[in-house]
Every structure is written in structure tokens, then in C-alpha cells.
Structure 1
């Protein structure tokens, strides 16, 4: 039932197939990392494809940030998707969600923003929505996607609606990092515009409608 609803109202994670040539290029890319772990990306393939390839190895989870020089991630107080408080380092196994946090400049936020990566039985589903004030405030920037050791994190429990939130309750050092910008994000043209006063359910129900080209240019037209 949940997967059926997600397919209707949200966007699935992209299903990507990699050629032998592309996969070989990604395997060699790790040799191009600098001393501080920065991957010097010089390939013709979109960066979201590379991050997807890396994620399929099952060795890493990912964290997106505007801060480009983080050496140690410290646990901090924050809420889970269900509103429960915890003190942890957050990461995701699906790199598309952290990419949003890497390119979204939180200092430009005015009001609310809504986003998430929901774990389905066979695939993940994404949604991203900002209010009009934030969209008009130029919220995009360059940022970093950090690769963190998956073995240090606890996977989300598969019950009900489960977001791709992995938690680590101890300080953790990144293994590598990749610089990204708005155009690198697979969902950069699927950012909806919502009203601050509306319910989260309404945001979900109208998400795909609002992310058609006709809607995104002028903001909401459903009010």
C-alpha cells in the first residue's frame, strides 16, 4: 500500500544502468582523491550517477553539507522524521537526499522546507519542497557530499513509513568527499513550492503537480 501511494505522489530514485566503461572509470576515480579526501571529479558522467554507483557497493552512507572542510562529524541534538529527538550524526544510504542538503543554503531559508527519502520495499521515493519566500531568496549554493563508513551507523527500522535516516551516536570521520552544485542534483528540477500553512499531507499530494514545468516557473497555482 505504501509503495503504491509513493509511486503516485512522489518520485522514485532513478534506476541507473552502468556500462563496463563507466564502471571502470568510477573504480579509477578513487585514485584521484587529495590528502583531505576530496575526489577530483573529471569524468563526463553526471555526479549523481557516480554517487549512485558508490552507494551500491554498500560500504558507505552519505551526508550533505554547505561546509566543505568537515574533518569530524559530532553527534548533535536533532529530530527524526517522526519528531522524536535524538543526539546523533545523520546520514543516508541513498546519496540523492544528502545532495539536496549539500546544495541547499539553509541561511537563505524563510519559513519551512519539506523533504525526504522514504524507503519502499524495493526502491526509495523522494520529495523536495520549499516555500516561495525561500525560492525567491536564492537558496542554492555549492556544497559537499561526505562519504561515511556504513558500519558505524544504525539503519532505520523498517516499520510503517520509514525514512532513509541512518544514525551514528559517536564522532565519525569522513572517508572521502565530493563537491556538488545544483546542476549535479538529479532532483534539481523537481523542487516544489508549498505554502507554509498547509499540512504535510497536502504538500505530498500536490508534489508531482507542482513540479511540472508549468508550475515551477510561477510557484503555486492551486490556491
Structure 2
């Protein structure tokens, strides 16, 4: 487990870096009980992939769900997935991200970005990440989200799938200290439920930047600062 001083130093470095966070008020006790009842009735007992809409604010519910159930999240434009397969249709610059696997995240906010990301004729690339010191709470995560210049709009409605965590493994922390919220399964996965996601549900809808093909990642990160 990461030593507390190292976690503090990593969190401080991310804070100084200025990347945006998503701070959401946790549900009050009555809302949390409503979330639990909804989840018990509609998620825990799901026998096949159904479409559900939880009560209240979607992002608040998803963070609650991530903390109270052993689940992961997968964002996509496809509304009819009964099973997620390991064939990867996009590329990634990291070895972990370039695997033939089912990809998911324990951070629902980051997964929402992939639900909303529009891949049309003008789409070239996206640079994105969800970073936090190992062992810190979700509200301390920092984000960078960017698509290539000329791709308008960057986002439109999509779908978020809730997956069982069993069978997935997480990416090793970068440099031993940075948690990337990135998980993979080498076998196909049957989702538990799916949820429609709109721009109004996404707390970072106004934080998606633009980059050019020859722009360095350092410049993209600098431009993402708040």
C-alpha cells in the first residue's frame, strides 16, 4: 500500500498541476437509502442487460454506486450490447490501453466521457485521463479531456454500461503512485444494466479541450488546467 507521505505528495503535485476535478455533494441519508433500494431492485437482481434510470442526479448516483457495489463502468455509443467482447476497434499509445480486451473504469465520471465522445468523420484522436494518488477518495481525481481541432461537436448522447468487477484487473499505478482508474478483462463480459447519458449529466461537459496533431501531450495538459 502506498505510504501516506507519498500519497500526500502526489495529491499535492496534481493539485498544483491545476487539472479539473469533479466535486459532488454526497447524497443525504434519505437519498442514499433511495439509491440502495433502486440498486437492489434494478441492478443487483438484473438477469439480463436492461435500461434503467436511477433517481436523482446521475453523476451523484454513479459515484455512490462505485463506492457501494463491486462494479465497473464502460461508456459507448452502442445501445444494444448484450455482451462486451475483447476485440478492440480503436488504438492507444500505452501498452495497457492497446490490448485486445474489454476496457472499463472504476471511475464513472471518466467512463461517461466515452459514452458521450462523438467519433464522426472529423474525429482524429482524443487525449484523456483520470488520475489520482493511489488510495485517495474519488473527489480528488484530476481529469484531462481533449479531442482534435475541427471535430464539432465533441460530445453527443451515449450509453453507460455497469459491469461486474469480477474477472477484471487494474492497470499498475504509474510510477508506483498514480492510479489511472483503468481496468481490463481478457474475456467477454455481460453487462448488468445500461443507462442513457446526456451532456446535461456530465459534470465536465465544458472542460473538453482541443489539440492539434503535432501538439505535445505536455501542451494538452497545460491547456486543460483550470
TM-score category of the 2 structures, normalised to the smaller one: 0.7 to 0.9
Shift of 1:18: 1.7
The structure with higher relative contact order (CA 8 Å, sep 6+) is 2
Aligned 8 A contact 1:76 1:88 in 2 = yes
For 2:124, the equivalent position in structure 1 comes to: 111
Corresponding residue to 1:82 among 76, 90, 94: 94
Aligned 8 A contact 1:81 1:163 in 2 = no
CA distance in 1, matches of 2:102, 2:128: 18
For 1:152, the equivalent position in structure 2 comes to: 167
Change (3 A) 1:109 1:63: farther
Shift of 1:101: 0.6
CA distance in 1, matches of 2:52, 2:10: 37
Paired residue secondary structure (2:59): helix
Deviation >3 Å, runs of 4+: 32-36, 77-81
Paired residue secondary structure (2:36): helix
For 2:4, the equivalent position in structure 1 comes to: none
> What does 1:1-150 correspond to in 2, within 5 Å?
1-7=9-15, 8-30=17-39, 31=41, 36-41=49-54, 43=55, 45-77=56-88, 82-84=94-96, 85-121=98-134, 122=136, 123-134=140-151, 137-150=152-165
Aligned 8 A contact 2:132 2:142 in 1 = yes
- Alpha-carbon RMSD across the aligned residues, in angstroms, is 2.2
Paired residue secondary structure (2:101): strand
Shift of 1:21: 1.4
Aligned 8 A contact 1:148 1:173 in 2 = yes
Structure 1: unaligned runs, 5 residues or longer: 210-223
Aligned 8 A contact 1:29 1:39 in 2 = no
TM-score w.r.t. structure 1 length? 0.82
